[in-house]
Every structure is written in structure tokens, then in C-alpha cells.
A and B are shown apart, each in its own frame.
Chain A
Amino acid sequence: MVSEDILLQTLSKKVLVATKEKKSLAQCSDEQLEVSGSIVAGAFMHGLEDEFHEVRKAACHSLGTLTILSSKFAGEALNLLMDVLNDDSMLVRLQAFETMHQMATFGHLKVQEKHMHMFLGTLVDRNTLTRSAARKVLKLAKLPDLKLFRSTIDTLLDNLEMCPQDEADILNVLFHIGRNHGKFVVRIIEEVSQQMEPVSNGKLGFDNVRVGALLVLAISAPLSQERDCSIPPSIFSYAVTYLGRISHALSDIIHQEGLLNYLSQCSRSSGPYDMEFDFSAKRGGTSEILSPTVKKPREAGNSLVEYSLDVQDEVTKSMNVVLEKVKDIWPFVQAGFTTEGLRTLRSCREELATLTSGSIASGGSFAFTMQYIKIMKLLAKAWVNFVPSRHLPSSGMGDLDFVLGKLDARLSELKSTFIGLSKVEELHILELVLVTCMLKLSKVEICCHLGTLRKLSCTMAHAESLLEDGTVEPSRFMIEVRKLLSEIGTSLNGSSCNPVLFRRVLESFFLERLVLCGGLKHIKADLDIPDNDYEHPLCFVAGLPVGIPCHITLHNVSVESRLWLKMTANGIDDTHFVSLDSNLFGGCDDHRIVVFTAPFYKTPKAFSFTVSVCICMEYLSEDEDVSFLKRCGPRHELASLCREKEVFLSMVK
């Protein structure tokens, strides 16, 4: 390890007295490295000022690791880091927050007055990611005096006014900050309690949102480690009127009944409190006491996630690890950092690609995850067009129409080619279908509003039927869609719909983490046309049918399924379907084999041509497209069960 002097020297370009003459020995595993002050002088300053954002980001990152070693170093490093919040790259700024968060976790974050202008500025930044990163740091920060505390609370309230969508998170931060600074809370509440009194008509006056925020701040005080933090008992009674909002915001800390319990206890006492916050878990009724310093990650509060975490099979477990990473792309996609999101997806795909061996790759979970990632890629590309930022190209991510169409098709496939989807999994897919519909509807240029609208309401109906028994709670987005549909439901001609409405609902969408329960079966087929390639074509006589010998293996296809062989002559764009009677197949349900000679009727007048053959399965979709009905052929939408196979044909000479 190097000495503290050397560490400090890396933050200053001036060679410090302490390191001027001294040479310090740094031990690097087995070789000894001599470090002198002048060599390392300002190393971090240079790193943080580098022209390449990759370098600056890395410098922030390594600062984080080193601040654990010395609080003095951390203090000096913070002076530089606070300024990095003004870096011109978003990624660097976020890394700076991350580093501060790390410092706070180790108790090395000592915020000073001179930092506040820059830091508080980020709380009202236009960018969601920045605001939430700043708040994450605040949760753990220790503010030295009342003045800083006051300006922090004021800025948080500004943040709340500016971005109502941040409410839950802001209330959560206020609660944490309050617990860390009980004394200051008491002072602030004393000053504003007048404004919080209900006005004559018995309703809380002032401005609702602000009062709610101050109430959260107030009710956190009894949990502070500081002594004698008395809050007027009436405050706790007022807080009860905000119970829903507050408990929603604090869902990672306490559930609703526990909160109610706590509030009513406090309202009966005038302090000092001997309060034990009863954090009974939502399920099982087991009770645990959470000390104010222990933080539970937000995700862990989500019962759905925990529930399915005890999946047995290893494949699904590792898929869930990958899916966890997929979820993380969303904030980036939302903020317009699509490339960053796509990069993560690519690395997820690469990770999966290393698992191709044997049983893992053949499992249903694997195929599902693979497809899911493809879908996310499309969604990310489509979302770009809806990010309100001038920094983004309007094109370049692929034609939106095309991307949305593909997204639609992929989702349908995902929904229909897997057996054994749990309710949560199915709802997750349905939510994505809803998002796709909303994306289509919110772009004026994309037509078929009517069809899309129909699909939207059918999908929602399907989702409602799954939600019916109340074991799964609908997401915020679904609730918004439900609301929207009931609003426009009366006039389902769609002509009166404003794209802005849809856009607003889309803002409430947030990609939740998908957790697989295991037991998924992938419906698929293998198709082989033996002894056929470019040099060994099948022979045909123009105008006469030709038989194409197909070796077909079906996996997990039930006997009731309606299967079709889809044949398209390339270059002519003529598609026709041949029905496959599943009774022909031998073997058991999840592995059936048949050799079938498919007739291709419309042989063209050409010396040679190719036919693309594919096995498809009919499935019932939410919206039946009437135009799709034909006299013969499939009646419903189709999902392809295998890759298209090229068949080579040439005329008999």
C-alpha cells in the first residue's frame, strides 16, 4: 500500500512538502515499486480532466476504491468530484455520483458549503437519471449544519414541484434524510408547523404536495438516533391522511399496516419516543426490526421477485442473472443513452452465447431469454424516437415503422411459442405488448390506429383477466392504460385520440425486472430437406406440382395445435400454405417426428428457383385481423417454429 501522503499527492499538481523528498515504497504483490511525490503529482487531476470520457469515468471509479482507505483523501477527492458533476459527459457525471455514494456508504462523504451550489443544482437537473442519482447520495449524506440542511430540503421541494413523477423517490429521500438529522427536522417543523395546520374547513391547506413532503420529514424524526426529537403529536395524525402516498414511497422500508401502527403510536405520545419501527414483511407476517442504518435494497421489497427467486433449476437461475442486467438498461434507454443500453444487451447476448453447450441451450429458459433480449433491443431502438432530446438523431436507429412491426411480431412469438409461462411472466409480456401499442399510437405518422387501438384493449382485457384474482398487482403503467382506455372507451372510433395522451401514459412505463420461475417449454420444430443444396436441386416441370420431402421434428407441440408449412417462392413473392396434420406424427408430445412430402403447386417458368419453407403454428391472438382471413390457409396469426429453409429446384432438362 502507498502512504496517505502519496494518495493525497495524486490529487494535487503541486508537489506537497510531505512527499517532496520522501520516497515511499509501494508493495505490489511481489515486486516493490518506488513511488515519489513528483511522479504521481496530480495523477487524478489529469485523469479527471482527460479529453476522453472513458478515462475520466475510470478516474472517478478508481477514486471510489481509494477513498475507502483514507477519510482525509476522501475529503480532498470530494472537492474534485463535486466539480465533475459539471462534466460534459452524462456517463462521467453518473460515475461521480456512484463514487460519492460509495464514499457515503463508508462514512467518508463530508459535504461542505462550497459543494452545495453544484450538488443541489443536480437535484433540479432536467435529466431523470441525474436527479435520482443525486437523491441516492443524499439518502446517506451527513449535512454539517442547519443552513445546508435547510437549503437541501428546499431544493428537494423544488424538485418535487418541478417533477411530480419523482414524488415517491423524493419522499423516500426525505424520510432517510430526516432520520439522519433528527434535530434539524425538529427545527424545520417548528418553523412550518403553522402552515401545516388544517384550515377551517378541516382540510389540510397550503399546497398538498409540499405538506405531504414535510409530513414525511416530520414523521422520520422519532426514528433518529439523536435524542429528544419531539414532533407535535398532531402531525402524525395528519400524516395518516396521506397514508397511501407515504406508504407507497416507503414501500422499501415498511408496509402500510406497520406505518399506520407507527403513526398512531406516535400520535399518542409527545416524545421522547421509544419507538420500534415494526417492519413486518408483507407476506408470512414475520416481523423484523430494521435499524435506521441498515438499508434494504429497494428491489428486495418487491415480493414477486423474492417469491420466484427460489427456482430450482440452474439454467433458470443463470438466466435470471442475465435478466437482472437487462433490466438495468432501462434508465439509460429512457434518458436517451440508447447506445449504452444496446451495448449492455450485446454483452448479455455474448454472455449467453458462451453457454451454448448441451442442455443449457436446449432448455426453454435459454430460448426465452435469447428472444427476450432481442425484443429489448428492438424496444430500445423504438424508444429513441420518443426521447425528448435534441441530442438524438431522428433517424439512424432504423425505420420506426419497421422496428415497431418487428417488435410486435417478436412479442407475439414469445407469447405463443412458450408453454408454462407463469402469471407474472405472461403479464410482463402483455405489458410489453401494451407498450408497443402505445408507441404506435403516440406516433401520428403510423397508421392503422383503429387496429392498434383494438389490439390495445384486447391485450388489456387479457391482462385484466390475469389480474382478476388480485394475487399480482398491476404496474403503474397498466393502471394508466386502464384509465386511458376507460376514458376513450366510450368513443372507440379512435379518431378523437390525441397522441399526446398516449405519450403521457408511456412516461409512466418502467421496465421491471423479469424473473423466470423455470419450467418453460419452448415450442419449436426442426426442418430438414435431405440431399438438397445448390448443386443438388430437386427437379420440376414448369406448371406441374413438385413434391418437397421434409423431415420434421416437433418439440413440445401439442396434438391440438394447427400447423402449417409455409412455402414462399423467392423472387415471386407468392406464399402458400400446406396444412400439417399433427396426427401423422409419431412419438410422444414433446418430441415427434414425421417425414412429409409437401406439394408445391405453382412452379414458375424458370430454369431454377428457390422456395423458402418454414413450419408455422396458428395461435389465437387478442385481435383477429379480419383481412387475414382467406378461403383456405390459416385463420389466425402464425408463429414460425423454425428458421426458414431454402429449397433449391431446377427444371428437368
Chain B
Amino acid sequence: MAIDSLVLGAGQEVGKSCVIVTINGKRIMFDCGMHMGHLDHRRYPDFSLIGPNFNQTLTCIIITHFHLDHIGALPYFTEVCGYSGPIYMTYPTKALAPLMLEDYRKVMVERRGEEEQFTSEHIVECMKKVIPVDLKQTVQVDKDLQIRAYYAGHVLGAAMFYAKVGDAAMVYTGDYNMTPDRHLGAAQIDRLSLDLVITESTYATTIRDSKYAREREFLRAVHTCVAGGGKVLIPSFALGRAQELCILLEDYWERMNLKVPIYFSAGLTRQANMYYKMLISWTSQKIKETYSTHNAFDFKNVHKFERSMIDAPGPCVLFATPGMISGGFSLEVFKHWAPSEKNLVTMPGYCVAGTIGHKLMSGKPTKIDLDKDTRIDVRCQIHQLTFSPHTDAKGIMDLVKFLSPKHVILVHGEKPRMATLKGRIQSELGIQCYDPANNETVSVPSTHYATAVASDAFVQSCSNPNFKFSTSGSEHEQGSSSSNRKSIPRLQVSDDRVAEGILVMEKNKKAKVVHQDELLVMLEEKKHQVKFAYCCPAHIGNLQENQETESTGLPLSSTNNDMLQLLSAKLTNELSEVNIQDFGDHLQVESFRVSICSKEDCPYRLSDNGGEEHYEPMFFCCSWAMEDEKLAWKVISMCQK
């Protein structure tokens, strides 16, 4: 059986995350995002590839978090395309997603004057279909499909999802962060037995610096600016980064006893902050620990900004939307503040081409032409934020190593970097890895557990105790313990049970595990035993030293017996612990058997043993079974002497 993953989006790119996974007959859509970089049909995943009647074939949709590249196409898919099945997401995502979607719809329709893809009503209707889930709660989607959400860091409410159908299981990570930040914890997941992990790979090759360094640079830039009487503009999205930076600034302000005001523009609604305050259980350890005495999102130093304050004198810090200075209030403030070299503008790590943010980041422009009538002189300082809520290459490797799935699929990254990471996962972790492009399907085999019957003899052998005795540490203790205390040697008993059996699978019969003794009977075969043989030359002189002269004339047979007697005596002498049986014509020690060889051309004799021999050598013909090999060579070496 196989797990098929059809990548509809975020294949070798970032944007419109969407993967359809077919697993033991169930079809799950993971994420339903939109691409911010396209305005044509490429903005949405190609839903036609799912097939005509997706309401029958899709079991459910799972959304990992509220970012538009993971949820942006959802209202379109449900309200315009008509999907009516269940949709799962976490509680915070359900709460915050409508804010994001509505915000985007407004920008799209009202500012850019585009054709409306979905309406406010669509968003409301769509959210009605959502079933919220909690972390680590196992949800039975139907009788075969189980899903479970794990904390992913990244943004408030972000989750990785585990899905299991029968014996096949997989994890879809969505976006995640392995290091905690000021307001969110690190991703957490159980060690699961998985066939497949689909992971994001935004930073497929980057290894990031300590988060402290990022914070230090940011604080230093802001502090230096306000200390010099400048104004700081922090363009930001309403949710996520603004809250994190604000917590950071609040804490610093408090410690340094700074009085410079911090403002939130109206776009950063109290509604968002209110949600953050309510969703404390989804934040970091520190915030959870302290919230009973002080809610970290109750910003003490933060005030509401009025438009009239733009040109007010004195230093200040302002958080304003939208994040990439693509218009709106942050652009308005930028126009006023950019011309002064005392001021500072911070930029997020990523800006869409065409925005002011993008222009500021590419090179150091001194002038920006807004439109043909407006030109902005840019003399202010620009600080590029290096904060990012995505895990780095080491984090991805650590997670994959921790989960150790049988297969990995990389999505949500840049093509060449993904290829590098794919190589590392395969070579360093030995896990099969894929980086499919959009609209490609990857098929991996899935686990299927077969039941096997165990025979009675096998079960019995398993339950036999396997005691081992050892007196450990007694000598050591005697040495170290004080002289007046008697130390008792400790007897250690270990019972490591070993189950040894043979799995037999016959056509049209149930698999069966049997004990090794049963196998021959079952297969109606005879037992084969491997035996070793060696015809070993011996120097009579060595054995006969004292009797040399008398024995020369003796008949061969009596010499033979004498030789065996001699050997037996010698063996008894040197191998006191074994039992030597004398059968007249041969000696037997365990499975080792030795007799005098009278054949001229014994097949077990090695030919090259002796031009230099003084005496005619005698030969002991030896044979033994595998288990007595050591013993055999001991005896043989004695014979040779």
C-alpha cells in the first residue's frame, strides 16, 4: 500500500501551501493557501487536479495556521468552489484567521480595486464550517482517520498535524519554529512511528545566529535612535511580530527606565491584542508563568497613536500597519519621517516586490518616487530585522532526526536550497527524501502490520527464564570499604529473556512464528549439520621422546593405540575441565573426535606439510562440529606439538 502526496502548492516555492495526501483510502488536504506574488490564476492552487467531485473524495481539510499562504484560498475553495466537508484548525487560528482574511480582502478590493475573489460573507460562512481542535487532542475524523495537533511555535495557534489511518501514519508540519521567542514557545512533538513527514524548508541551508544577537541589534538601533531624539517607525502586520517586538521593547524600557512613548497605530487593533491576552495558554512558558500577576500583552508603556502626533516633536516609537509600507498608515508616517537622518525605520525580513519596503531593502535609495507627483527623500536610517518565526536548517534536521520517519517530503522553500537539504537528509540521516514541484505526486510505501500466529513451543521458549549469575563489584567494594565492616559479595542475577523463533509465511496461510525445533517437522526436511575435519600431522618424536628406541619395531596398530593413550594422557593433563572419553580406536571430547589416520590419501590432509620432516609423521584425523571449534583447535595444536 502507498501514501500519495499531490503537491498543489508550495512545491519548490514559498506561497499557496496545499498538499493532498491520500493515505489508506482517506484524502486529506493540508493547508489551503494563496500565493501573494501572483494576481492571476496562479494565485490559488489548481483545485481541478483533485478531481470533479471533491466533496465525495476529500475526507477533510486541515489548516495549520492563520498566515495567508496557508489559509488564503480557503474561503474561495469552500464558498466559490463549493467544498462542504469538515475543516480542522486550532482554536486560535479559528479566532485570528477571519481578521487576516478580512484584512487581505480589503487591501485587495478597496486599495487595489481588484475583482473580488470572496466577500466578507464568504469568510463568515467559511469559518462556520471549521471544527476547532486543541493541542494533543486526538480527533476521530471518521472511523478510520485520526488526527492530532502539536505545538509548532511560529505564530499564535500554529500547529503541526499528525494523521493516522490504519497502520499508516504521517506528520504535516506547516510552518514551525524550534527556538522560542519572546512570546511563543518552541515546537513540540512526540516521538511517533511515521511513514512520512512533510516539512517546511524556508531556511533549508541557513543556520541562524542566536536569537539574543537579533534582539541586541534591534534594541541597540532603537535605543540609539531615541536617545538621539529620533523617531522609530516599525511597520508591521497586526498579528505576530508586532506583539513580539513590543514585549521586547516593554521589557527593555522597564529595565532601562526609559520614558520615550511607544505607540500602536489604529490598524494594530485592540482586538488582536485582546485575542493574544485570551489565548495565553498558547504562548511561551514565561508568559504563561507570569500572566496571573501580569499579562505580558498588557503593554504598560504603549499608547494609542493619533494622526496629529506625526509631526509632534520629540522621540517616540511607532508600530504601524501595513508591514511592507505598501500603503496605508505606515506609508503616511514614512513620508513624514523618512527625510530626517535622526529617524529610524525597521524593515521585516521579507518584502514583496513593488512595495516601498522592497525598495528600501534593495540598495540604499536616497529618493523614492511614490508616483509621478510624489517623491520622498530618504535620509533616515534603515534597520533590517532578522527575526523570523521559521526554524533553520539545523532545526529541520533535528526534527527529522527526532521523528526518524521512513520518508520525508520538503515543501515551502526555494528549489536549489531544498535540493541541498534533501541531499543532507539522505546522506546524513539515511532517510528517503523528495522535493516535488507543484502539481507533482510523490508516492511512498506505507506500513502495514500483519498478524502472525505463534506456535506453543515458541511461546514456551519465550517464557523460559534465561538467568545469568554474576558476582559483581565485590572485590572492588572490599578494597574501598572500611576494614571493620565486612563486605558481602553481591550476587547479581539477570534474566534477559530472548525470544528466538522463525517466521514462516506460506501461501494462503496465516504467517506463523515457530520454534527452531519445529521447523524441520513443518518443512518435512532432514537436519543438516556442518562438520569440520582436519587430518593433522603429529611428530611422533614429540610424544615418544623417551621410548624412541624400543618402539621402532612395534606393529603399527599397537603404536596407534599407544599414541592415542599418550594423547589422551596429555589432554587430560592440560584440559582438566573437559571430559575425555576413550573408545579404543578414537577419543571423543564433546563433539570432537580424533583417531589415528592410516589412509595414505586422507582427503582432510593438507599436502604441503613437510619436506623437512625428520620422521615419518603420524596423522590424527579429527572432526568436530561448529560449536566446538575453539576446543578443536586447542586439541589440534596439542597434537601438533
Contacts and interface: CB of A to CB of B under 8 A. Distances in A.
Contact of A42 (B185, B257, B394): B394
B210 A45 contact: yes
Given A14-B207, A117-B220, A126-B256, A49 B180 contact: yes
Interface in A437-474: none
B376 to A, nearest CB: 31
Contacts, number: 71
A460 B216 CA distance: 50
B225 to A, nearest CB: 13
19 contacts: A13-B394, A14-B207, A49-B210, A49-B211, A49-B212, A51-B286, A53-B285, A83-B213, A83-B215, A87-B212, A88-B182, A118-B220, A121-B255, A121-B256, A125-B256, A126-B256, A127-B255, A391-B290, A391-B293
A358 interface: no
Interface string A199-227: 00000000000000000000000000000
A86 B255 CA distance: 10
Which of A41, A52, A127 is packed against the most chain B CB atoms within 10 Å? A52
Given A49-B210, A51-B180, A80-B210, A86 B215 contact: yes
B212 A83 contact: yes
Nearest to B256: A121
B293 A13 contact: no
A38 B294 CA distance: 41
Nearest to B293: A393
Contacts of B180: 49-51
A83 B216 CA distance: 7
A390 B255 contact: no
B284 interface: yes
Contact of A118 (B179, B182, B216, B284): B216
Interface string A115-144: 001100100111100100000000000000
Interface string A71-104: 0000000001001101111000000000000000
Nearest to A51: B180
B437 interface: no
Chain A interface category by residue count: 20 to 34
A86 B394 contact: no
Interface in A43-74: 45-46, 48-53
A321 interface: no
B210 A51 contact: no
Given A124-B256, A390-B294, A51 B185 contact: yes
For the complex of A and B, list the 9 residue pairs with the smallest distance between their C-beta atoms, beginning with the closest.
Answer: A83-B212, A51-B180, A126-B257, A51-B185, A51-B285, A393-B293, A13-B207, A13-B394, A14-B207
Nearest to B153: A51
A48 B180 CA distance: 11
Contacts of A45: 210
Given A83-B212, A88-B182, A117-B220, A53 B286 contact: yes
Given A49-B179, A49-B180, A52-B285, A83 B255 contact: no
Interface of A: 13-14, 38, 41-42, 45-46, 48-53, 80, 83-84, 86-89, 117-118, 121, 124-127, 130, 390-393, 396
Nearest to B220: A117
Given A80-B210, A88-B286, A390 B300 contact: yes
A392 B293 contact: yes
Nearest to A125: B255
A302 B73 CA distance: 74
B251 interface: yes
Nearest to A83: B212
A50 B216 CA distance: 17
Contacts of A13: 207-208, 392, 394
B254 interface: yes
Contacts of A42: 394
Contacts of B212: 48-49, 80, 83-84, 86-87
A50 B211 CA distance: 11
Interface in B166-198: 179-180, 182, 185-186
Nearest to A392: B293
Contacts of B182: 88
Nearest to A49: B179
